[in-house]
Amino acid sequence: MQIEEIIDNFSVLDEWEDRYSYLIELGRGLEPLTEGEHSPVYKVRGCASQVWLITETRGSGRDAVLRFRGDSDAHIVRGLIAVLFALYSGKKAGEILGIDEKAVLAQLGLDSHLTPQRSNGLASMVARVKADATAAAAPAAAPATQ
């Protein structure tokens, strides 16, 4: 699903209860992780709920394409993960670094309708995505000369 579709769907839902239900539905559509992928290696720090994020990178440099998979033990957080994946997954590292996620989240109203804990967790997930995009976009280290 594309972020534009989520924004459109949010715009027709007047009540926040309906928007939360929609977020939960989005989260149900996430590709499941294996038991082994629910590992501390993939855990996102700074989230009150448990969140796992896996980044798969194809290519290198700013043109590297990043695909994300993830999960959470909280339904609404799974929905937030789905929103972030609609915003970032399948895009080039350079593109991801140029996205103004605060504007998109404000457009959805998420900037003012999440608890402080969920907002902090969302910020931690965004920071992880941006860090992975930064790492992918970094030029390869030159081979050491002897």
The active-site residue, picked from 47, 108, 110, 125, is 47
Q: List the strands of the sheet with 65-72, edge to edge.
A: 51-58, 65-72, 91-92
Which residues have C-beta within 8 Å of that of residue 44, sequence separation ≥ 6?
51, 52, 53, 121, 124, 125, 128
115 among known catalytic residues: no
**Whole-angstrom distance, CA of residue 145 vs CA of residue 115:** 52
* Nearest by Cα to 122 from 106, 110, 135: 110
Active-site residue list: 47
